[in-house]
Amino acid sequence: MNFNKLGHFLLLVAATLPLVGCSIATNADENSPIVFEDRNSPISPSPAKLKLEYTASLSAVGDILIHERVYLDAKKENSYDFNPMLEKVTPFLEQADLTIANSESVVGGSEIGLSTYPAFNSPYEIGAALKNSGVDVVTLANNHTLDRGILAIENAIQYWHQIGMVHTGAALSSDDRAEVTLVTRNNITFSFLSYTYGTNGIPTPVGMDYLVNRIDPLIIQQDLKRAREVSDVVVLSLHFGQEYEHMPNAEQMELAHFSAENGADIILGHHPHVLQPPEWIETTDGRKVFAVYSLGNFLSGQDGLDRQIGAILHLDIVKSVTADSSNITLRNPAFTTTFVKSSNDKNYDMDLLKNIDKNLNSATKAHLSTWIKDLEFIE
């Protein structure tokens, strides 16, 4: 059968079949396209019924506190290399759409002289290693921010700008401080705020309050309001609590609940240098806020098992959008437990806690699960 005869045959068959839900124009010939004059197809939903969902993943780690023994171990001939220390945990950082770390020792660079406790100044190379490992945002408001004065803060912020690292909690001008720090991933816009309880008794220079954000409930309330106006998710970092205490105190919990009520969606705690458990905070406007009171140390030279243990937080954020509303839901909180090991103040290396001590890992998981029994652990 040639193609012309085949075309006539198909048209004949089509004419004899019952038509279901459509009719064909009667004036069509073999060279004309088939035209459907009406269809009984599903009707598109109205805009009011449309619902879109976007998802982004977030990870966060605790304190980056570079003691002398850590940066000396990273020293090369004319530079420092921290990348090998982070190699084993990098896969757990770079898998998230956004990863946050607390840069506790100011990264002021070798040019002004490196220093350790009690007044820290770290090499730029730790910042590069964090960037290489998947960290996207660093928080800068902590009790060591003013350790080495204005020059160290200027150097650090200029360096973070240079490598494209988003930062919050310290600024070089009032205008910079007034800018809400924003990052968008997968159509979800995150804002980042960071505050500290103090600066180890070092006063902020007169007229330069922008250098470091201090915890003041009224200021936090105002900043949360501004952040909510320009973002979908507000991530609040608080440097608070008592060092080496494994449970949050009343002041920490009160501030976290206050912040949740005033618009924070995710609250990340730092400063105790040991892990404190997370909780869900249910607000009066019906939101569920995730608060972890202390993420412990991530990379530091502190001794003691509980100070060598850290945790990487993993959290999924879902944005549901309809024609007249947008809603954020936090899902699947999970942790990866970590450990900083060394030998005689050398060979610093981060590893998963499960590879160091299974019993200690089980105890750490139980501690983190104090208030959230269905926490997951990614190892």
Q: What is the DSSP string of 196-246?
A: ES--TTPPPPTT-GGGSPBP-HHHHHHHHHHHHHH-SEEEEEEE-S-TT-S
Report the relative pairing of strands 346-352 and 326-343 from DSSP bridges. Answer: antiparallel
Quote the longest CA-to-CA distance of the chain.
96
Instruction: Please give the structure tokens belonging to residue 90.
Output: 């990098």
What is the model's pLDDT at position 39?
47
Q: Which residue has the higher pLDDT, 21 or 166?
A: 166
**Percent of the chain's residues with pLDDT above 70:** 87
Distance CA 312, CA 100 (A): 10
pLDDT recorded at residue 207: 97
Per-residue pLDDT of 224-268, as tens digits, reads 999 999 999 999 999 999 999 999 999 999 999 999 999 999 999
Tokens of 179: 């800018």
- What is the predicted pLDDT for the residue at 323? 86
Determine the pLDDT at residue 42.
52
pTM for this structure? 0.87
Q: Which residues contact 241 (CB under 8 A, 6 or more apart)?
A: 248, 249, 251, 252, 269, 271, 272, 276, 293, 294
Sorted by sequence, the CB contacts under 8 Å of residue 176 that are 6+ apart come out as 210
Contact between residue 263 and residue 225 where contact means Cβ atoms under 8 Å apart: yes
**Alpha carbons 168 and 192: distance in angstroms, whole number:** 7
Q: Tokens 């919990």 appear where? A: 253
Query: Residues 282-302: what's their mean pLDDT?
Result: 98
Is 60 exceeded by the pLDDT of residue 15?
no
For residue 21, what pLDDT band results from cuts at 50, 70 and 90?
A: very low
pLDDT band per the 50, 70, 90 thresholds, residue 324:
confident
| Residue 23 reports pLDDT greater than 50 | no
Query: At a CB cut-off of 8 Å and minimum separation 6, what does 197 contact?
Result: 143, 214, 215, 239, 240, 271
Phi and psi for 240 in degrees, rounded to 5? -155, 175
pLDDT recorded at residue 371: 98
pLDDT for 175: 98
The pLDDT of residue 17 is 42
Q: What pLDDT score was predicted for residue 40?
A: 52
The whole-angstrom separation of Cα 230 and Cα 179 is 11
